[in-house]
């Protein structure tokens, strides 16, 4: 019983981090129909800037976090204008090749400025303590991560389902030409959505750094993990990504508690079974 | 000139060249390591330490110039290592090889160096069995047996009755687990449980819960340096293991290139290892100061000292035998010298370095920098995992 509770608590915290980093990928890949393998790169950019600000310049976590997310958003905005516009027009294979190239460039830049060692982020004092639940000690930062993930979920749901921006976005991706003819500025919608995805990745990269430590090769190291969440959840669905991240987080944590000698086999076996039953993911659109 | 005269002049010149005592040669040394990709830190540490040694000792021996050629193999990559060695031996005519960060990279060159009779000095790769694969392998790093057994003995002598082991599930991890468990049980201790953690894992909270629930006095951990170590030590602190009094025993987890990133959470961790950049000796002070002067952002670690001593060994072999590999190996056997890590000698049978293993605790030095402070020494430990 206690083990089951531990698995659920640790799994939910792990799942929330997966959700925060991957949901942006689900939004750009599903809603904008672009295979953006450089997504983890934005998580790295956010984390690397936060590292430089908190550790090397000694700035407090909260202003540093806001500054790094804003920088990541600005960089992604510029990249969307210059690099991604031509990529939209490429076929799927072209998009995969081009965005993996972008990933390598991001890695090389971070490597050049900050080296290939770990990039820790100095956490604020309110994030460092532990909470004792009697049977289990839970680090404070995990509780904060769970809270932040829940807020992101609510915010995105509201944004896409309940606002004018959401209506425009859904219209633009469903039928680009008609939406444009009706006076929707589709390229602006795309740019904002892309930047939103990057901002979420930066937030996830920073908050998740305790579990998925940041270093220059971060985007490649965890690429499979993020893609798995999106594939299992189904493209373009926020609730799907959430369900997938939670499910995979709890499953992976459970296998570590009970079957660690099987390594990651349990995880990938479950993913294979699920995808063979539902090739479009849990909540994927037909 | 008539052809005959021409021939005799050339012959005369050749003879002069061969017999001339001052004819300077260039002796090339090939360094095979990882200079790019996620593990590029190894090549960087090797190269910087090599350059420090050359800066201190010059680049010529008895008039012969020593030239280093660096080859990148981009990570644990046996094929690339073999190809690089072939290239170095055939095209560049190197007389010595050095480097080798990963075990498979060293194993891949064993047949080549045996055939070419070229000594290869291993700066890091730490599996005991490597030196058995060729009589031309020499090693200046360490083996997991060499540091894990002293850790177990020290834990047993200092109050640990029960220990749980938690290692990453790959060869070095299994090596460390076997070495620690066998030595600890020999001292009357009890291994409560053995956890093997998947290589890809970075969330260690589940393992911490299991370690805590086991109720043992301590945990012996082995993980590859980098993200895994960072997340593990973090989880060790945050999972409340430190407060619960479960002591941490390790080996290379707190190496100098990782320790700054670990931050304050590393304070108090006890490890057994052969090198700390805070080792107190004049030679080490000189070595770390020179490194700092030449590469201000660098910090010496196990890779630096492995390379520094490796180059020292190569210099000694060149002094004794120039480019003759067989004579060089004979000269190297039993060689003893003072290293930045303390007194070392090359075991004539295993061709592996015999060295002190230090028990250290992570502390802050007066400048506020985290260091591995040595407080106990196990004298002159050989490679305990070598079985001929």
Contact A136 B209 (CB under 8 A): yes
A116 touches chain B (CB under 8 A): yes
Q: Which residues pair with B113 in a beta bridge?
A: none
- The values of phi and psi at residue A129, to 5°, are -70, 180
Identify the band that residue B250 occupies on the pLDDT scale cut at 50, 70 and 90: very high
**Tens-digit pLDDT profile for residues B57-92:** 999 999 999 999 999 999 889 999 999 999 999 999
B316 touches chain A (CB under 8 A): no
Contact B261 A119 (CB under 8 A): yes
Instruction: Indicate the angle between helix axes A186-207 and A140-162, nearest 10 degrees.
Output: 170
- The values of phi and psi at residue B366, to 5°, are -55, -25
A178 touches chain B (CB under 8 A): no
What is the distance between the alpha carbons of residues B175 and B129, in angstroms, rounded to a whole number? Answer: 11
Q: Which of B39, B200, B238 sits opposite A264 (nearest CB)?
A: B200
Its ipTM equals 0.80
DSSP 8-class letter at A33 = -
What is the distance between the alpha carbons of residues B291 and B364, in angstroms, rounded to a whole number? Answer: 21
β-pair type (B270-273, B353-364): antiparallel
Chain B neighbors of A209, CB-CB under 8 A: none
pLDDT of residue B21: 47
What is the distance between the alpha carbons of residues A46 and A71, in angstroms, rounded to a whole number? Answer: 8
C-alpha distances out from residue B237 to A123, B16, B263, B336, Å = 14, 72, 12, 41
Compare all CA atoms of chain A with the CA of B212 and give the residue at the minimum distance.
Answer: A136
Chain A neighbors of B238, CB-CB under 8 A: 130, 137, 139, 141
A8 touches chain B (CB under 8 A): no
Q: What angle do CA B79, B85, B87 make, to 5 degrees?
A: 105
What is the distance between the alpha carbons of residues B283 and B339, in angstroms, rounded to a whole number? Answer: 7
Contact A137 B239 (CB under 8 A): yes
Q: Name the residue with higher pLDDT: B121 or B18.
A: B121
Q: How far is A80 from chain B (nearest CA, A)?
A: 27
Compare all CA atoms of chain B with the CA of A123 and give the residue at the minimum distance.
Answer: B263
Contact B196 A210 (CB under 8 A): no
**Tens-digit pLDDT profile for residues B317-362:** 999 999 899 999 999 999 999 999 999 999 999 999 999 999 999 9
pLDDT tens string, chain A, 286 residues long: the values are: 778 888 888 899 889 988 988 888 887 777 777 888 999 999 999 999 999 999 889 899 999 999 999 999 999 999 989 998 888 888 889 999 999 999 999 999 998 888 878 888 888 888 877 888 777 778 888 888 889 999 999 998 899 889 999 888 888 877 778 888 888 888 888 888 889 989 999 999 998 888 888 999 999 988 988 889 988 988 777 888 899 999 999 998 888 888 877 777 888 898 899 889 888 888 766 4
Q: What angle do CA B56, B378, B150 make, to 5 degrees?
A: 115
Q: Which of B205, B226, B240 sits opposite A215 (nearest CB)?
A: B226
pLDDT of residue A181: 87
Q: How many other β-carbons are positioned within 10 Å of the β-carbon of residue A232?
A: 24
Q: What is the DSSP string of B144-158?
A: HHHHHHHHHHHHHHT
Q: Helices in chain B by DSSP H: which ranges?
A: 3-19, 40-57, 78-90, 103-107, 110-116, 144-157, 171-186, 205-213, 227-238, 256-262, 282-294, 302-321, 325-332
Which among B42, B194, B206 is the top mutation candidate for probing chain A, defined by the most A β-carbons within 10 Å of its own β-carbon? B206
Q: Note whether B139 and B184 are within 8 A (CB).
A: no
Q: Note whether B224 and B169 are within 8 A (CB).
A: no
Burial (CB < 10 A; 0-12, 13-18, 19+), residue B243, is: exposed
**Torsion on CA atoms B371, B377, B379, B381, rounded to nearest 10:** -60
Q: Which residues pair with B26 in a beta bridge?
A: B65
**Buried (b) or exposed (e) across B14-46, using 16+ Cβ within 10 A?**
eeeeeeeeeeeeebbbbbbbbbebbbbbbbbbb
What is the distance between the alpha carbons of residues A216 and A114, in angstroms, rounded to a whole number? Answer: 8
Q: Note whether B340 and B279 are within 8 A (CB).
A: yes
Q: Which of A10, A210, A217 sits opposite B38 (nearest CB)?
A: A217
Q: Note whether A283 and A239 are within 8 A (CB).
A: yes
Give the three-class secondary structure for B63: coil
pLDDT of residue B117: 95
pTM of the model: 0.84
Task: Please give the mean pLDDT across all residues of chain B.
Answer: 90
Give the three-class secondary structure for B116: helix
Contact B195 A213 (CB under 8 A): no
Contact A256 B201 (CB under 8 A): yes
- B278 Cβ contact list (under 8 Å, min separation 6): B365, B371, B372, B373, B374
Chain A neighbors of B207, CB-CB under 8 A: 256, 260
Contact A118 B207 (CB under 8 A): no
Specify the residue for token string 């045996």. B114
Q: What is the pLDDT averaged over residues B370-375?
A: 94
């Amino acid at each position: 019983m206690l083990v089951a509770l531990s698995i659920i608590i640790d799994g939910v915290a792990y799942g929330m981090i997966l959700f925060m980093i991957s949901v942006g990928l689900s939004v750009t890949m599903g809603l904008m129909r672009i295979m953006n393998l450089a997504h983890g790169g934005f998580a790295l950019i956010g984390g690397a800037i936060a590292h430089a600000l908190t550790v090397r310049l000694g700035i407090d976590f909260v202003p540093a976090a806001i500054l790094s997310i804003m920088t990541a958003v600005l960089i992604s905005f510029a990249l969307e204008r210059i690099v991604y516009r031509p990529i939209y027009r490429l076929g799927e294979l072209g998009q995969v090749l081009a965005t993996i190239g972008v990933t390598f460039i991001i890695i090389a830049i971070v490597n050049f400025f900050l080296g290939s060692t770990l990039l820790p982020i100095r956490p604020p004092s309110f994030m460092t303590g532990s909470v004792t639940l009697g049977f289990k000690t839970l680090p404070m930062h995990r509780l904060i991560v769970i809270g932040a993930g829940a807020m992101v979920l609510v915010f995105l749901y509201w944004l896409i389902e309940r606002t004018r921006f959401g209506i425009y976005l859904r219209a633009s991706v469903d039928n680009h030409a008609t939406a444009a003819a009706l006076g929707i500025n589709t390229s602006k919608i795309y740019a904002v959505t892309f930047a939103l995805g990057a901002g979420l990745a930066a937030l996830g990269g920073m908050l998740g750094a305790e579990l998925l430590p940041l270093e220059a090769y971060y985007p490649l190291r965890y690429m499979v993990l993020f893609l798995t969440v999106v594939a299992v959840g189904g493209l373009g669905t926020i609730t799907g990504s959430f369900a997938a991240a939670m499910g995979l987080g709890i499953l992976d944590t459970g296998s570590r508690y009970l079957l660690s000698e099987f390594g990651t086999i349990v995880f990938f076996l479950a993913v294979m079974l699920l995808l063979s039953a539902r090739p479009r993911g849990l909540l994927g659109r037909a | 000139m008539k052809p005959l005269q021409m021939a005799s002049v050339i012959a005369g010149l050749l003879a002069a060249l061969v017999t001339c005592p001052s004819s300077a040669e260039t002796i090339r040394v090939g360094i095979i390591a990882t200079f790019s990709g996620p593990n590029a830190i190894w090549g960087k540490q090797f190269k910087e330490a090599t350059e420090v040694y050359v800066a201190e000792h010059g680049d010529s021996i008895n008039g012969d110039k020593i030239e280093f050629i660096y080859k990148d193999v981009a990570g644990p990559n046996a094929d690339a290592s073999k190809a690089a060695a072939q290239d170095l031996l055939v095209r560049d005519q190197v007389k010595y090889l050095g480097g080798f960060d990963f075990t498979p990279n060293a194993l891949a060159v064993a047949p080549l160096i045996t055939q070419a009779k070229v000594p290869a000095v291993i700066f890091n790769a730490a599996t005991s069995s490597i030196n058995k694969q060729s009589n031309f392998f020499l090693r200046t790093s360490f083996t997991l047996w060499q540091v894990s057994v002293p850790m177990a003995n020290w834990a047993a002598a200092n109050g640990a009755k029960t220990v749980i082991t938690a290692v990453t599930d790959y060869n070095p991890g299994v090596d460390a687990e076997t070495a620690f468990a066998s030595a600890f049980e020999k001292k009357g201790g009890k291994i409560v449980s053995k956890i093997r953690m998947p290589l890809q894992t970075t969330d260690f909270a589940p393992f911490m819960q299991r370690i805590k629930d086991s109720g043992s006095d301590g945990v012996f951990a082995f993980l590859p340096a980098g993200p895994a170590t960072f997340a593990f030590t973090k989880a060790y602190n945050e999972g409340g293991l430190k407060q619960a009094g479960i002591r941490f025993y390790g080996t290379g987890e707190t190496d100098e290139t990782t320790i700054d990133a670990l931050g304050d959470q590393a304070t108090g961790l006890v490890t057994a290892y052969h090198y700390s950049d805070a080792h107190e000796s004049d030679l080490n002070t000189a070595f770390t100061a020179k490194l700092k002067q030449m590469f201000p952002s660098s910090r010496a670690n196990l890779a630096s000292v492995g390379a520094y001593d490796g180059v020292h060994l190569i210099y000694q072999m060149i002094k004794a035998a120039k480019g003759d590999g067989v004579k060089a190996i004979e000269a190297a056997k039993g060689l003893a010298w003072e290293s930045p890590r303390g007194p070392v000698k090359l075991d004539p049978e295993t061709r592996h370095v015999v060295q002190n293993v230090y028990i250290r605790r992570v502390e802050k030095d007066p400048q506020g920098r985290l260091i591995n402070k040595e407080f106990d020494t196990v004298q002159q430990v050989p490679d305990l995992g070598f079985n001929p």
